[in-house]
Structure 1
Amino acid sequence: MAETPPSSTSHPGNLKYIRYDHSLETKYLPAIRALISKDLSEPYSIYVYRYFLYQWGHLCFLALHPTTEDLIGVIICKLEPHISHSPPTLRGYIAMLAVSSGYRGHGIATTLVKMGIEAMTQRNADEVVLETEETNIPAMRLYERLGFLRSKKLHRYYLNGSSAYRLVLLLKNAEGEEDRDFDAEGMALDEDEIS
């Protein structure tokens, strides 16, 4: 699908955000693959996309141009038990996030991440994790603004030899209670901001 660059008549705030549905595969899977492959360090086969979208489509969201419905952004997530913790936790995972280069810097990625976190939270996720290249400063800032913490450096993690950070957002504390407080915009609050 052709990308329509932003203009005064198509402000990013007017984008249409939808939850992925299997009926959208024919229309959007090629565009999802093309958008993600532009920025990721790993070449994914179509089976990787289908693995996530078939099982966890309800945790994946698309940002679409309001008039053409071209794909502008996408987040692909999953949610599974994580048995290495005792007791086992329900771990959300942000596998892929991409926004078309002409639309970056307008909060689209932040909106998609918040939608993914909310969908996982509604399904009782204890935490959300992801990996991002250590050189991807904009991504690191985005996730850290949303309350993610660096938990581990993964040396030579990607096929291209780049290292990554694993980031974690704790949604519940050890007692299983919600661990984060958020402001009206969905931003994580610091302890001194909580009244």
Structure 2
Amino acid sequence: MNLAAFINHLVREGQVAVVDQLIPFTPQELSETQTILETYYKSDILEMPGTAPSFDAEAALWSAQYIYRIVQLTMGRDIGAADLSAWLAPYPFAVTAAGIYSADLCLRYLPDLLSLSKGLAPDDPLVQEIRETAMQWPFSSTGMNLPARGNITTITASASLLQAYADRIIATRDINRCNSIAIQNTVTASLGNYACVLWPDYKNIDE
């Protein structure tokens, strides 16, 4: 299954399959994948609060390739730690609100990928790579019990991202992500009078 088909199955059915061979993606694959991601974005923004950030093709494509490679490397662990960086390139651009949301179209599956890698040793370089990426992209990694090391300010500066992030924090009850006044205030406002039902332990944040 090539990259375009992989992303199409991932976003539509939540299923993944990859080819065994590690080879570069073709320009046609990347173009087809971008079209799929942009269509997915247009559908996904209907569920976003307020005005969602714009589509960032570079961020979306980077995350699609990253997720595909992670699955490939997880299914066939015959690549040494020194070679991982050749197939898992770090995000090369400045992180913007558009970049965060567009990358999240695929990075939101990071918790599932970490579960997929549970057959590997906890100190396996690939597991560590997934965890590090999750920490660098906090919008996509609530509920993973990992600290947020990425730029939270970019999330809190976007009303749409902030509300969506707060909703994810509530859904996963990730109390450790309530680490800024803006996030705490948004979570509190979202819970309203239903905190005792939606998140009974939330009152412990300020204690």
TM bin, normalised by shorter chain, reads: 0.3 to 0.5
TM-score by length of 2: 0.33
TM-score by length of 1: 0.34
Instruction: Say which structure is richer in helix.
Output: 2
